[in-house]
């Protein structure tokens, strides 16, 4: 069974840092690009970042560029999102999603985790 499980969310003060993890199983992790998508409370979906299957291509939404970093460990089938200089507007559920190919900017996201909540507040 294909599984994607996010962890690492929690309450953090403005300006703080947090590292999210996404553990996967049931598919060949190293063959697929992976994506982070977030959803603020009561709001719509916002694409955050994508990393290619091999990790050589990374892209970020303008809203997080320079503050967030995406990485992956293909030996551990795990995706990461390092979030620095956090702001109140980063408060959201963060979803990890599998892309439908190794790398295409126009991929669909075919497997989603349940998400992990990040709250930025003093």
Partner 1 sequence: QSVLTQPPSVSGAPGQRVTISCTGSSSNIGAGYDVHWYQQLPGTAPKLLIYAYINRPSGVPHRFSGSKSGTSASLAITGLQAEDEADYYCQSYDSSLSGSVFGGGTKLTVL
Q: Which residues bind partner 1 (CB under 8 A)?
A: 35, 37, 44-47, 50, 59-62, 95, 100, 105-115
**How remote is the C-alpha of 118 from its chain's centroid?**
12
Q: What are phi and psi of 29, to 5 degrees?
A: -55, -40
Q: State the minimum distance, in angstroms, from the CB of residue 81 to partner 1.
A: 15
Distance CA 20, CA 116 (A): 8
Q: State the minimum distance, in angstroms, from the CB of residue 75 to partner 1.
A: 26
Q: State the minimum distance, in angstroms, from the CB of residue 54 to partner 1.
A: 19
* Nearer residue to partner 1 within complex by CB, 46 or 91: 46
Closest to 70 (Cα-Cα) out of 57, 86, 87: 57
Helix (H/G/I), strand (E/B), else coil: 9: coil
* Nearer residue to partner 1 within complex by CB, 66 or 75: 66
Q: State the minimum distance, in angstroms, from the CB of residue 33 to partner 1.
A: 11
* Nearer residue to partner 1 within complex by CB, 20 or 113: 113
* Nearer residue to partner 1 within complex by CB, 16 or 40: 40
Kindly state the tokens that stand for 118.
Answer: 């990040």
Whether residue 64 contacts residue 72, with contact meaning beta carbons closer than 8 Å, is answered with no
């Amino acid at each position: 069974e294909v599984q994607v499980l996010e962890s690492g969310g929690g309450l953090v003060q403005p300006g703080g840092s947090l590292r999210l993890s996404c553990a996967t199983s049931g598919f060949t992790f190293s063959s697929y690009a992976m994506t982070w998508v977030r959803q603020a409370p009561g709001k719509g979906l916002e694409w955050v970042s994508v990393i290619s299957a091999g990790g050589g291509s990374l892209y970020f939404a303008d809203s997080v560029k320079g503050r967030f970093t995406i990485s992956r460990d293909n030996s551990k089938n795990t995706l990461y999102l390092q979030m620095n200089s956090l702001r109140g507007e980063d408060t959201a559920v963060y979803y990890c999603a599998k892309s439908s190919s190794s790398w295409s900017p126009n991929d669909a996201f075919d497997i989603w985790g349940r998400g992990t909540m990040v709250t930025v507040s003093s």
